[in-house]
Amino acid sequence: MDRLSKEQRQRYARHIALPNFGEKGQRKILESRVLCVGVGGLGSPVVLYLAGAGVGTLGIADSDVLELPNLQRQVVHSSGDVGKPKVETAKKRLRELNPDVTVETFHERVTAENVHNLVADYDVVVDGCDNPETRYVLNAACYSAKKPFVHGSIFRYEGRATTFTYDPGTPCYRCIYPSSPPPGFLPSGAEAGIASPVPGLIGMIQVAEVLKLLLGEGDLLVGRMVLYDMLAMTFREVRIAKDPGCSLCGKEAGAGLS
Ligand SMILES: [Zn+2]
């Protein structure tokens, strides 16, 4: 990319001033393409901050329309947007925030059929999903395309985050969660409740991981998971290891590649 414009040098001045970032780092961010699957609790803060940071192309995939109970935490949308597709209302807000950013929208559910085409066009994929099934689909596609996948999940007052780069010896999502809980086993967000700061915090950890991946700086959450408990106000870190018996990335795997 050419040198930054005068306006861009102002817009991104606080990044450019940072050690290990600079104008070169900002140009990398502006040239990058990031896909966020879901613009709900996690995806809303994720796409707002990625757009603010100047990620050049942001893909957003979500099949939902906005409902009033979403707005307590899904702050990329507005009260007047209820009933509209979330990808459209998010796109409008992101363009207002930063016209440097091209927003590509996919108003569809991510499935085993469409996931490979979707993931292929992006450098990094962010997990803003609200269900394990979509995470398995994304994990498998990112594994076969060797695209980093930044995972986040939330439940009531707790959240967790980790990053999968699929480098040799590092775990994938299926290494940690070998099989999906039976349908209906976990209560939905609507049934369980969600404390609004939790997706905000976990989303910011995901944004930080994305920026480090794009810059090639810092230590990633690979092989370790951060667990946040809002009521106890604790962050814990647990080691997560590759499972040699994983049906996706283990030694005997093969059938699980699709
Ligand atoms: Zn695995």
Query: Ligand 1 is a single-atom ion; what residues have CB below 5 A from it?
Result: 172, 174-175, 246, 248-249
- pLDDT at residue 182, rounded to an integer: 74
Listed by start position, the domains of the chain span: 32-257
Q: How far is the CA of 17 from the centre of ligand 1 (A)?
A: 39
Helix, strand, coil fractions of the chain, as percent rounded to 5: 40, 20, 40
CATH 3.40.50.720 correct for 32-257: yes
List Cα–Cα distances, 219 to 72, 113, 145, 231, in angstroms.
Answer: 32, 34, 22, 27
**What is the percent of the chain with per-residue pLDDT over 70, rounded to a whole number?**
98
- CA angle in degrees (0–180, nearest 5) for 113-174-155: 95
Asked if pLDDT for residue 45 goes beyond 70, the answer is: yes
> What does the pLDDT look like over 139-178, one tens digit per residue?
999 999 999 999 999 999 999 999 999 999 999 999 999 9
Q: Give the mean model confidence (pLDDT) for residues 212-240.
A: 98
Asked if pLDDT for residue 256 goes beyond 50, the answer is: no
- pLDDT at residue 188, rounded to an integer: 76
- pLDDT at residue 191, rounded to an integer: 83
Q: How far is the CA of 97 from the centre of ligand 1 (A)?
A: 38
Asked if pLDDT for residue 108 goes beyond 90, the answer is: yes
List Cα–Cα distances, 213 to 143, 156, 227, in angstroms.
Answer: 16, 29, 21
Helix 197-215 / helix 22-31 crossing angle, nearest 10 deg: 110
CA-based nearest residue to 223, from 139, 168, 164, 136: 164
User: Which residues lie across from 229 on neighbouring strands?
Assistant: 158, 234
Residue 157: helix, strand or coil by DSSP? coil
Q: How far is the CA of 242 from the centre of ligand 1 (A)?
A: 6
Q: What band does 212 get if pLDDT is binned at 50, 70 and 90?
A: very high
Q: From CA 185, how far away is CA 97, in angstroms rounded?
A: 39
Asked if pLDDT for residue 255 goes beyond 60, the answer is: no
Only one residue has tokens 């979500």, namely: 62
- pLDDT at residue 17, rounded to an integer: 98
Q: Which amino acid is at 134?
A: T
What average pLDDT does the structure give for the chain?
Answer: 95
> What does the pLDDT look like over 60-101, one tens digit per residue?
999 999 999 999 999 999 999 999 999 999 999 999 999 999
Q: How far is the CA of 40 from the centre of ligand 1 (A)?
A: 26
- pLDDT at residue 254, rounded to an integer: 63
Are 117 and 61 contacting, i.e. CB atoms less than 8 angstroms apart?
Answer: no
Asked if pLDDT for residue 187 goes beyond 80, the answer is: no
Q: How far is the CA of 201 from the centre of ligand 1 (A)?
A: 26
